[in-house]
Structure 1
């Protein structure tokens, strides 16, 4: 029972909108996060922390580079 309770608490923490804060909005230049419309101050702070981590890890640049590589592969395959 304790094992299940621990696992359920971990799942709850991963899906709790206040804990997560927000999700990155892809397809825009720069770092943008989307948060729940009824976000509390805690959720907003967590979303800002997520945006900071997103920016510090240069994820936007990595995603852009990956998308470009995908476009190039698609163009090569279409040309052959």
Structure 2
């Protein structure tokens, strides 16, 4: 296999996208559905703790998320905010 074939995935038969862009789109799609981007389980089943104006959710795989109930939006927390 050529390096260009390894680095790129052909999507829709004509356009090439870097693999990292496809991963980002997949992760956004999982978060929109309320699923963990690591293990795929529903974040509603995770451990919930109050955090600022929302909730800190710890998934069963120990990935930490922030949930904003007013916007119905999940975000991954950066590692420096895990301990708060």
- What is the TM-score normalised by the length of structure 2? 0.29
Higher share in helix: 1
